[in-house]
Structure 1
Amino acid sequence: MPSGSRPGGLVFNEDKTQIVHAETGFDFLGFNVRRYRSGKLLIKPSKAAVRRIRGRLGEEIRALRGAEPAAVLRALNPIVRGWAAYYRTVVSKEVFASLDAYLWQLTYRWALPRHPKKPRRWIMRRYFGRFNPARQDNWVFGDRDSGAYLVRFAWTKIIRHQLVKGGASPDDPALADYWADRRRKGAPLPLDRATMRLLKTQAGRCHRGGQLLLHAVRSPQSPREWEQWFRTTRKAIKTQHIAY
């Protein structure tokens, strides 16, 4: 058998393969896997992934200088929802909170140049408030004209990963039902209850064209895919596309 190869014809890429201690940890697909001194093995968003999303948010805000609040919300909400949806199954609570604080600073700095002659208290009242009626939060960024607001990372509920039964392999035909059941019971989509209820009523299909509104086989596999899902698929779930 060739060096680095494994049964089934799989071969390790030696240039991309590392052997590290669990206490050191490693990054994979935007996650950091590490065993801490407490003995717990935790999976968190990697530092590189956090740097990337912070950079992306900063670039978006800079590009939106002079734009209307509605344009800011249209640009940022899918990014926030997509990133939070991807990382909602791991230990992300602290990271979500830090990103929310960073995004608040970005939106505040975006608002200041729009009204150079207005006091900062006026600007705060104009662009921040309790826009989300379900949250007791007076510092949510929003649009006074439409009532739309910027979602927060921390509003996405953390869903813990379901452990795999010992010895269970996806390649074992005898466990096909087990893996199918795991997929059905996977982390729920990050949609509000009203939307999920309407989707269930319509069997997940648009009442106009009949097309499926949700992916039945596979959920998005990256923050970008989740973002695209929120920008496209979720538009079809708006009220005018759902039969009451």
Structure 2
Amino acid sequence: MLVAGTSEDAQRIRHWVASVLSPMGLRLSLEKTKITHIDEGLDFLGWRLQRHRKKGTIDRRYIYTYPSKKALGSIKDKVRDLCRMDINLPLEVPLHRLNRVLKGWTAYFRFGISHATFHYLRAFVWQRVIGWLRRKYRRSNWKELRRRNCGGRWWPTTEEVTLFDPAKVRTIRYSYRGTKIPSPWTGTA
């Protein structure tokens, strides 16, 4: 919940919300419920929400949403695990598995300020896949490795599949819809 007021106002509203939820059999988790200022930011469903000053302005401040460090860490762990698989497998196997994971993660986080995160993830995935290829072909030099597994270029590809590039995913910023959003409360009491 977002509250326009002081910390004491948020405490009162938290107790009121708890009393409203209790007849429905729901309760607020004390571990997950946090009262913080929006300038300090908060993590919610993998997103980091925080108010920052807009670059190039003096007094304009906006709330930005970008992937949290925990969400980025989880995708990096998945990429590490997938790139630790058996080197006797053909390149298509890890590429298919990585593509599935990367497409899902980028589809979820494309609705925010994720451009820089996607570029970072691109570099991280490339390093991991190239490391897997270097372990697989220990005696190959760099030129031979690129010719065999990257089509003579830099991005890992085979005839069947190409490694998904997170940096090519277009991000979409949330646009304010205001009164166009229908209200579930009609105002009848």
Give TM-score scaled by structure 1 length.
Answer: 0.61
| Number of residue-to-residue matches in the alignment | 165
- Point out 4+ residue stretches in structure 1 off by more than 4 angstroms: 166-170
Structure 1 residue ranges without an equivalent (≥5): 131-137, 175-244
Maintained 8 Å contact 2:41/2:51: yes
Residues 79-90 of structure 1 correspond to what in structure 2 (within 5 A)?
Answer: 79-90=101-112
Q: CA deviation at 1:170?
A: 4.2
Task: State the Cα deviation string for residues 100-136 of structure 1 (Å, max 9, x = none).
Answer: 0000000110001222222121102221247xxxxxx
Structure 2 residue ranges without an equivalent (≥5): 1-12, 55-60
2:52 corresponds in structure 1 to 36
Maintained 8 Å contact 1:127/1:142: yes
2:8 corresponds in structure 1 to none
Task: State the Cα deviation string for residues 56-87 of structure 1 (Å, max 9, x = none).
Answer: 10011102432111111221111010000000
SS of aligned partner of 1:94: helix
1:139 corresponds in structure 2 to 154
Question: Which of 165, 168, 171 is residue 152 of structure 1 equivalent to?
Answer: 165
Identity of aligned residues (%): 25
2:71 corresponds in structure 1 to 49
SS of aligned partner of 1:41: strand
Q: CA RMSD in A?
A: 2.7
- CA distance 1:75–1:35, shift in 2 (3 Å): same
Give TM-score scaled by structure 2 length.
Answer: 0.77
**Bigger mean CA deviation after superposition, 65-74 or 6-15:** 6-15
Residues 27-176 of structure 1 correspond to what in structure 2 (within 5 A)?
Answer: 27-38=43-54, 39-129=61-151, 138-143=153-158, 146-165=159-178, 168=181, 170-172=183-185
- CA distance 1:169–1:20, shift in 2 (3 Å): farther
Maintained 8 Å contact 1:90/1:160: yes
Maintained 8 Å contact 1:64/1:72: no
Structure number, greater radius of gyration: 2
Within 1, Cα distance between the matches of 2:101 and 2:79? 8
Within 2, Cα distance between the matches of 1:24 and 1:112? 43
